[in-house]
Amino acid sequence: SSELTQDPAVSVALGQTVRVTCQGDSLRTYYASWYQQKPGQAPILVIYDKNNRPSGIPDRFSGSSSGNTASLTITGAQAEDEADYYCNSRDINSNHPVFGGGTKLTVL
Amino acid sequence: EVQLVESGGGLVQAGGSLRLSCAASGFAFNRYWTHWVRQSPGKGLVWVSRINEDGSSTNYADSVKGRFTVSRDNAKNTLYLQMDSLRAEDTAVYYCARSKVGVTNTYYFDYWGQGTLVTVSS
């Protein structure tokens, strides 16, 4: 399958840890990248190559991968982390980029 | 500072055409693959098309193949998306994005424009 599957919504209490997951067959071969998108804004890259953070991304964001699942973990979630999160990887059939459906993260 | 600025969006009737532009600055445009990604209202991100550094290689999502054409002018640091035979389902914000290649030969998008809205009326 070329799809990447994400939970539609996840919530976390302020200051707690939350994991956002992404499942797909391609993740057994290819690393995922993760993007944060706030309402009315363009996506920004938060994790690439499984667990690398671009400059300026807080270290509370981390990534991991096991089998067909990639995960984005936010350790000590802040109010400003409330956003949609998308995973992205490579379609094993077409070799084209593919995105997950997105997870809406609510910080309570 | 890396910047990508899209333009050219607007309202068009079904069956019509539109050309989007993405002006790049702050980096060596001719050294990067660049992509178009779209987002329909209230929906997720969908990859549309990509073009390599010198424009000799292009790829498209099945949903736009044969109707959209991606191109670039490296002398003008500009990426284009020619959209023909537009359909209501093409209504979306269109983002251009720069990509790099990761260690597993997978693209990731390190810079994005702010997007331009295309509305196709039926």
DSSP string, B84-96: -S--GGG-EEEEE
**pLDDT digits over A65-90, tens only?**
999 999 999 999 999 999 999 999 99
Q: Are B31 and B2 in contact (CB under 8 A)?
A: no
* CA distance to partner chain A, nearest, from residue B4 (Å): 11
The pairing of beta strand B78-83 with beta strand B68-73: antiparallel
Distance, in Å, from the CA atom of B85 to the CA atom of B71, rounded to the nearest integer, reads 18
- Rounded to 5°, angle at Cα B33 from A46 and B77: 105
- Sorted by sequence, the CB contacts under 8 Å of residue B75 that are 6+ apart come out as none
Q: Do A45 and B110 touch (CB under 8 A)?
A: yes
Dihedral sign computed on CA atoms, order A86, A87, A88, A94: negative
Residue A74, classed as helix, strand or coil, is strand
Distance, in Å, from the CA atom of A87 to the CA atom of B20, rounded to the nearest integer, reads 26
Inform me whether the pLDDT recorded for A1 exceeds 60.
Answer: no
The encoded tokens of residue A63 equal 């990534």
Inform me whether the pLDDT recorded for A41 exceeds 80.
Answer: yes
- Sorted by sequence, the CB contacts under 8 Å of residue B61 that are 6+ apart come out as A96, B46, B47, B48, B49
* CA distance to partner chain A, nearest, from residue B64 (Å): 13
Which of B105, B109, B111, B117 is the mutation pick for testing A, counting most A CBs within 10 A?
A: B109
- Sorted by sequence, the CB contacts under 8 Å of residue B60 that are 6+ apart come out as B48, B49, B68, B70
**pLDDT digits over B42-99, tens only?**
999 999 999 999 999 999 999 999 999 999 999 999 999 999 999 999 999 999 999 9
Distance, in Å, from the CA atom of B93 to the CA atom of B115, rounded to the nearest integer, reads 6
- Rounded to 5°, angle at Cα B67 from B36 and B89: 70
Distance, in Å, from the CA atom of B78 to the CA atom of B22, rounded to the nearest integer, reads 5
The pLDDT confidence band at residue A2, using thresholds 50, 70 and 90, is low
Question: Averaged over B4-27, what is the pLDDT?
Answer: 98
- Rounded to 5°, angle at Cα B47 from B44 and B51: 155
The pLDDT confidence band at residue A18, using thresholds 50, 70 and 90, is very high
Nearest CB to A96; choose among B59, B102, B104: B59
Nearest CB to A88; choose among B108, B111, B114: B108
The pLDDT confidence band at residue A50, using thresholds 50, 70 and 90, is confident
Residue B114, classed as helix, strand or coil, is coil
DSSP label at residue A102? -
Above pLDDT 90, what percent of chain A? 93
